[in-house]
């Protein structure tokens, strides 16, 4: 967990109304917990471990206030960047575009990477979400697509075409795929694993996708789907981050 200290403090911000579901209501609830944790730490420090020794969980609670304070400060720092419409980079250190709501730490990192001409966080987020929603709609249309080749009997092949990043199911099925396209797709799948972290299962670049439920997380509000090619299994979101060679 990060212990990073914020470089700026949001003390010049006009106090917004803490409506249900607002970041301010969340923060005010977090501050209430912080207050209790601080009081708990003082009580635990004063307690002499007699006659009942503290269990690991009760002991562990004494360190949570520092951790929570640091998380609150990061959240406030990210909120300040949003309120002041500070520019944020549309890509991460490795040049990959982000497209879903980001954690405070990521927002701060993107603002550090930003050029002055970059969009602010909310503008960028709305744009990314719209683009992705449009791409998903295109993809859904493509689910009914069929292979563009004919079978040995001359009839139209009924298999689903292979999946291409961001373009959906197009062209030929894996049986009818030409050599060049096979090589291209192999490269895309290998590249996705080698060069890109997975938004669906959180595996880092260089590590294969995991289907372990503990690692899976929603991408754009949906559980991540998997695309398979020649024995390689990669989450769709990870494939879509991979540029075609």
Q: Which of 90, 104, 165, 200 binds Zn ion (CB under 5 A)?
A: 200
Instruction: Give the shortest CB-206-to-Zn ion separation in angstroms.
Output: 13
- Residue at token pair 């980001």: 102
Bond prior to 51 in cis (omega within 30° of 0): yes
Would you count residue 233 as binding Zn ion (CB under 5 A)? no
Of 28, 24, 17, 62, nearest to 43 (Cα)? 62
Binding Zn ion (rule: CB under 5 A), the pick from 139, 176, 217, 232 is 176
Q: Counting contacts by CB under 5 A, is residue 173 touching Zn ion?
A: yes
- Nearer to Zn ion (CB atom), residue 38 or residue 159: 159
Minimal distance, residue 235 CB to Zn ion, in Å: 3
Cis peptide before 148 (omega within 30 of 0): no
Q: Taking a C-beta distance cutoff of 8 angstroms, is the pair 232, 189 a contact?
A: yes
Kindly tell me which residue out of 96, 100, 145, 157 binds Zn ion, with binding defined by CB under 5 A.
157
- Does the CA dihedral 135-137-143-147 come out positive or negative? negative
Cβ nearer to Zn ion, comparing 124 with 235: 235
Work out the burial of residue 227: count CB atoms within 10 Å of its CB; fewer than 13 is exposed, 13-18 middle, 19 or more buried.
buried
Asked if 160 is part of the footprint of Zn ion (rule: CB under 5 A), the reply reads no
Distance CA 95, CA 80 (A): 25
192 binds Zn ion (CB under 5 A): no
Q: Which stretch binds Zn ion (CB under 5 A): 2-10, 21-29, 90-98, 176-184?
A: 176-184
Q: Which of 190, 180, 201, 184 is nearest to 231 (CA)?
A: 190
User: Quick one: 78 or 173, whose CB is closer to Zn ion?
Assistant: 173
The residue among 121 and 229 lying less far from Zn ion, judged by its C-beta, is 229
Interface residue with Zn ion among 188, 209, 219, 239 (CB under 5 A) is 209
Binders of Zn ion among residues 7 to 26 (CB under 5 A) are none
Terminal C-alpha separation, the chain: 37
Given the rule CB under 5 A, which of 64-72, 125-133, 182-190, 197-205 is the region that contacts Zn ion? 197-205
Residues in the interface with Zn ion (CB under 5 A) total 11
> How many Å apart are CA 4 and CA 56, to the nearest integer?
26
Task: For residue 138, give both structure tokens.
Answer: 């295109």
Write out the residues near Zn ion by the rule CB under 5 A. 147, 149, 157, 159, 173, 176, 198, 200-201, 209, 235
């Amino acid at each position: 967990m990060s212990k990073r200290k914020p470089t700026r403090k949001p003390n010049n911000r006009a106090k917004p109304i803490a409506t249900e579901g607002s970041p301010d209501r969340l923060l005010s609830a977090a501050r209430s917990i912080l207050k209790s944790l601080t009081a708990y730490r003082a009580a635990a420090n004063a307690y002499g471990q007699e006659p009942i020794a503290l269990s690991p969980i009760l002991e562990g609670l004494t360190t949570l206030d520092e951790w929570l304070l640091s998380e609150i400060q990061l959240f406030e720092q990210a909120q300040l960047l949003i309120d002041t419409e500070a520019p944020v980079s549309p890509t991460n250190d490795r040049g990959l575009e982000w497209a879903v709501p980001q954690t405070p730490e990521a927002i701060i990192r993107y603002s550090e990477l930003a050029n002055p001409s970059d969009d602010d966080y909310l503008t960028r987020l709305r744009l990314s979400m719209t683009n992705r929603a449009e791409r998903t709609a295109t993809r859904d249309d493509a689910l009914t697509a069929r292979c563009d080749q004919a079978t040995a009997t001359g009839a139209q092949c009924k298999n689903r075409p292979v999946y291409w990043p961001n373009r959906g199911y197009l062209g030929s099925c894996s049986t009818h795929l030409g050599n060049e396209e096979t090589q291209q797709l192999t490269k895309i799948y290998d590249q996705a694993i080698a060069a890109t972290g997975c938004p669906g299962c959180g595996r880092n670049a260089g590590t294969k996708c995991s289907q372990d439920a503990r690692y899976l997380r929603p991408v754009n509000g949906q559980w991540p789907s998997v695309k398979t090619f020649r024995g390689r299994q990669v989450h769709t979101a990870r494939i879509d981050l991979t540029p075609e060679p």
